[in-house]
Amino acid sequence: MILNIEALSRRYQELRAAEDSKDRIIEDLLENIKQLGSKHAKAVDDYDDQKRATSSLREDIKKYKLDIDAMKRGQDKLSFVSVIVDGDGMNVRRSVLPTVDSSNFPQFLESLVQDGKHGGDRAARRLIEASDDHVQNTEPAAPSNTCYKIRVYANVAGLTKAYRGDKILDYDQDLTSFIQGFNKAHPLCDFVDVGDGKECCDVKMRALLERDLVDIHCQRVLFCASADNGYAPVLRQYRGSSRISLVEGPPFARDMKELASDFKTTSFPSVFMARKLNETQRASSGSVSTATSTTTTISSGSPTPNYASAAAKPAPALQFPFPPAKGRQEPMISLRLSLYVNDLDQRVDWPLKTSPKQTVASLKARKLCNRFHILGDCPYGIFCSHEHGIAPSRQEVVDLMYIARSSPCGEGVYCRDVKCLSGHRCAFGESCINKQECRFDSSMHAVALDNFNRIEEYPLD
């Protein structure tokens, strides 16, 4: 058999090409396996890294949870509920008797106020208990160890007058022992006397409300001033807040009633009255003319008014608000403060028809508070060193005016305050033999008394 070289060569080349293709396939498979192995190894490494990271993250999460729980426990220890009570709004003045405007605040129950120190203690404890009941009912998950910060702001002198006017306190009683009992009941119970002036209380109430609401430890604010429309604007910005509760004593005022539906509301009948204190004013049987700025006019046949003739004239008959003592009839005495100015623009103290010197001295020795018994108010309130007790008679009030004039006015002869009780002229005038040592300065010794005009009048009854 003769082989065809060319055919063999062709077949060999074909075989060789097939072998080469097989080798390339094997090489490609091996390379692919190698690459897959690398990828697998990398995937295994990545998996191990992820596993380690996940484990580490789990540990971190566990640690953070423990930290958060510890922080929450710590926060729970510091958490508190703020109970803010507006005890102000006592716009007390004396026209006849103190006119009481008690619409602004919740009043403590009669039995608590009358029980003095024990009543104050019970009031504080009841307020804490009532607040806790409300919080537990509103937030069942609330910490059981939540503390309650009680802050009552009040014009104590005005509040005292209100309770006296409502016959809850006798005239010689005050709120000192009640407040002491309230403050001693718990370290976080404070009854604060803010003094006279509505804004004194409002500013503190608003500031405390705003501060508590940004305090993360403050769980809830119980706002006990819902009968005062003045708080509507500040509460309106927190409308819908789940952290504010309005406590109703007397009925909600109009603006507050509109807001009440946006807050949790409650009432504490075991602590506060549901009514207002009586807004009474015992009217005088005699009519009182309105004080106006007038000038004394003289007819051609009348003599020019002077200090001596004025003192000689009897005072017009006007009723005084307080009844005379039993078994004694007193003349009707005018009780008004008048501002007189002479031709030199100097203030002239209108002469008073006083009692005999010995009677005035005896009255002075009693150390009555001149301002309280004449004007019906005293900036020192219950801390005044002078007597605020039983009201003096009509004539004694006139004598108190005379006594008050023994202290010189700091504004001197140019004082224009019609309600100023101080003296504007030395009683001895230029005849004073102690001018150098006299408490009245030289200008207050040389006040002309020939002609003077009444420019303002302030009735006391």
What is the structure's pLDDT at 280?
Answer: 35
Residue 246: phi, psi to the nearest 5?
-100, 130
Tokens of 321: 């608000």
Give the per-residue pLDDT at 139: 87
pLDDT in tens, the chain (461 residues): 566 888 888 888 888 888 888 889 998 999 999 999 999 999 999 999 999 999 999 999 999 998 888 887 777 778 899 999 987 532 333 222 233 343 344 578 889 999 999 999 999 999 999 999 999 999 887 877 789 999 999 888 878 887 887 788 887 788 999 999 999 999 999 999 988 765 678 889 999 999 999 998 899 999 998 777 888 888 999 998 999 999 988 888 888 888 888 999 999 999 988 877 654 333 222 333 333 333 333 333 333 344 444 444 433 333 333 333 333 344 445 588 889 999 888 999 988 889 999 999 999 998 899 999 999 888 877 777 788 877 888 899 999 999 999 999 988 899 999 999 999 999 888 889 888 889 898 889 988 888 888 888 888 76
**Domain extent listing, the chain:** 76-92+108-267, 336-459
Nearest to 150 by CA among 95, 224, 96, 207: 224
Q: Write the DSSP symbol of residue 68.
A: H
Q: Give the per-residue pLDDT at 435.
A: 83
Backbone angles phi, psi at 113, to 5 degrees: -65, -40
Q: What six digits make up the tokens of 122?
A: 């019970």
**Would you state the pLDDT for residue 318?**
31
Q: Select from 452, 417, 450, 456 the least CA-distant residue to 296.
A: 452
pLDDT for 88 equals 53
Q: What is the pLDDT of residue 188?
A: 94
**Each residue of 205-242: b (16+ CB within 10 Å) or e?**
bbebbeebbeeeebbbbbbbbbbbbbbbeebeebeeee
Q: At what angle do helices 176-185 and 116-138 cross, to 10 degrees?
A: 40
Using CA atoms, how far residue 102 sits from 140, 206, 397, 447, in Å, is 35, 19, 28, 45
**pLDDT score recorded for residue 277:** 67
What is the reported pLDDT for 3?
A: 67
CA 231 to chain centre: 11
CA–CA–CA angle 109, 149, 87 (5° rounding):
40
Q: Rounding to the nearest 10 degrees, give the CA dihedral for residues 355, 358, 364, 368.
A: -60
Degrees, nearest 5: CA angle 338-339-341: 140
